[in-house]
Amino acid sequence: MITHDHILTLLDAITDPCSLAAGSPVGITTLGLIRAVDVKTGPDGAYVTVTMVLTSPGCLMASVFTNSILDILRAQPDVAAADVIFDHDAIWLPEDAAPAYRESRAAHLRTMNDRYAAMRSA
């Protein structure tokens, strides 16, 4: 039977496109967008509901994330049905991302700032 932790690992393969464009790609689980995973066992397999939040109310990726999540979950042989719910009352904060990612992102920003400063002074 598919587990909560396995689902989180699978979903982390979905890269947040804004993080990719910013030069420090990260999966949606590590970014802290997945708020809950509910797995109920049924006679024909697992019924999975994923609750997530977007990084901003104007984010246009909701349908892309939904389709990607459903594609991944429906491809699992022991998942009978899957659903994605967006928690529009929740607010994503940078602190929701995994500490290791926050550290690597900060290092990336320092590197980019140093390069920019070097270019300006040249």
pLDDT value at position 109? 78
Angle subtended at Cα 102 by Cα 101 and Cα 108, rounded to the nearest 5 degrees: 85
pLDDT in tens, 60-82: 999 999 999 999 999 999 999 99
Which residue range(s) make up the domain with 111? Answer: 4-121
Q: Is 108 helix (H, G, I), strand (E, B) or coil?
A: helix
Looking at the structure of the chain, the number of domains it has is: 1
Q: Please give the Cα distance from 15 to 95 (Å, whole number).
A: 18
User: Over the chain, what is the mean pLDDT?
Assistant: 93
pLDDT value at position 1? 85
> Is residue 33 within 8 Å of 92, Cβ to Cβ?
yes
Q: Which CATH number do you get for residue 112?
A: 3.30.300.130
Helix (H) or strand (E) holding 82: strand 79-86
Assign 13 a pLDDT band (cuts: 50, 70, 90).
Answer: very high
pLDDT in tens, 36-60: 999 999 999 999 999 999 999 888 9
Q: Please give the Cα distance from 21 to 43 (Å, whole number).
A: 43
Give the global pTM: 0.86
